[in-house]
């Protein structure tokens, strides 16, 4: 089981899986629960069954309810696995400041997990619906750059609720690309190895910006999630919860 060092705020230990003894990290990435307790429970159950090392939640946990969001994170906490999350645009902005010993908000922060640095951006670009947690692109740039300044070493992974602009991951049913310009520019500059995002449900899939792999997890309340394997190579599996 992974242990959390709360003094240094770093996670430690690489999981060893399968008969080969190969060392790699198994991540379960998910988002867009939108108040579905059933989906949260599926994540918790699957994480234990599949020997997941780390759960990453990319936002929209509840619909503007801090109490529901923290309750759901509490369900995931019972797995005794470390959990990193960012709030979504439909979560209350105050969720970005909520912390627990093993459940960490990484909005505007960077955490080192066995040489993988997870940097987070919650909320989404300002849109026509006036949702609870929105930002303009200048603000997003400032948040990302300030967090990035704290990164000294490690392989960078960006967790952003909002996808980068002009990719297959941010294209809505209408054809509009609703992603963030600031997120895209940050990816082009920092060149993380991986971006985990959500927000645009119909944008579920994978894409690239340069050498950076991008994945939109899809909506957990539709039974979608992503299984990731990290070592020297990156394996992405777009998956569905079993019936």
User: What are 212-241's pLDDT values in tens digits?
Assistant: 999 999 999 999 999 999 988 899 999 999
Q: How many domains does the chain have?
A: 1
Residue 90: pLDDT above 90?
A: yes
Residue 47: pLDDT above 90?
A: yes
Residue 5: pLDDT above 80?
A: no
Predicted confidence at residue 15, as pLDDT, reads 54
Main-chain dihedrals φ then ψ at residue 15, nearest 5 degrees: -70, 145
Q: If you average pLDDT over residues 2-7, what whole number do you get?
A: 29
Range of the domain at 126: 3-240
The CB density around residue 101, as the number of other CB atoms within 10 Å, is: 9
Tell me the C-alpha distance between 65 and 169, whole Å: 26
Poorest-pLDDT segment among 14-23, 42-51, 59-68: 14-23
Q: If you average pLDDT over residues 54-76, what whole number do you get?
A: 97
CA dist list (Å): 222 to 94, 113, 201, 219, 241: 26, 29, 9, 5, 9
25 bridge partner residues: 230
* CATH code, domain with 111: 3.60.21.10
For the chain, percent of residues with pLDDT exceeding 90: 84
Scan for tokens 């500059």, then name that residue.
189
Tell me the C-alpha distance between 31 and 85, whole Å: 9
Tell me the C-alpha distance between 165 and 169, whole Å: 8
What's the residue count for the chain? 243
* Cα dihedral sign, 208-209-210-212: negative
Residue 202: pLDDT above 50?
A: yes
Residue 162: pLDDT above 80?
A: yes
């Amino acid at each position: 089981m992974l242990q959390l060092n709360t003094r240094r705020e770093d996670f430690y230990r690489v999981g060893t899986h399968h008969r080969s003894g190969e060392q790699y990290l198994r991540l379960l990435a998910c988002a867009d629960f939108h108040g579905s307790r059933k989906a949260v429970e599926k994540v918790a159950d699957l994480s234990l069954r599949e020997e997941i090392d780390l759960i990453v939640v990319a936002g929209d946990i509840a619909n503007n309810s801090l109490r529901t969001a923290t309750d759901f994170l509490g369900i995931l906490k019972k797995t005794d696995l470390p959990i990193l999350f960012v709030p979504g645009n439909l979560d209350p902005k105050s969720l970005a400041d909520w912390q627990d010993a093993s459940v960490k908000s990484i909005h505007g922060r960077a955490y080192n997990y066995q040489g993988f640095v997870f940097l987070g951006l919650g909320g989404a670009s300002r849109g026509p619906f006036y949702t609870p947690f929105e930002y303009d692109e200048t603000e997003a740039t400032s948040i990302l750059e300030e967090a990035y300044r704290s990164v000294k070493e490690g392989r960078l992974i960006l967790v952003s609720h909002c996808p980068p602009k002009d990719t297959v991951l941010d294209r809505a049913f209408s054809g509009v690309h609703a992603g963030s310009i600031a997120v895209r520019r940050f990816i082009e500059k920092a060149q993380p190895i991986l971006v985990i995002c959500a927000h645009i449900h119909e944008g579920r899939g994978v894409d690239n910006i340069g050498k950076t792999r991008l994945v939109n997890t899809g909506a957990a309340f539709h039974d979608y999630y992503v299984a990731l394997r990290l070592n020297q190579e990156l394996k992405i599996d777009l998956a569905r919860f079993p019936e």
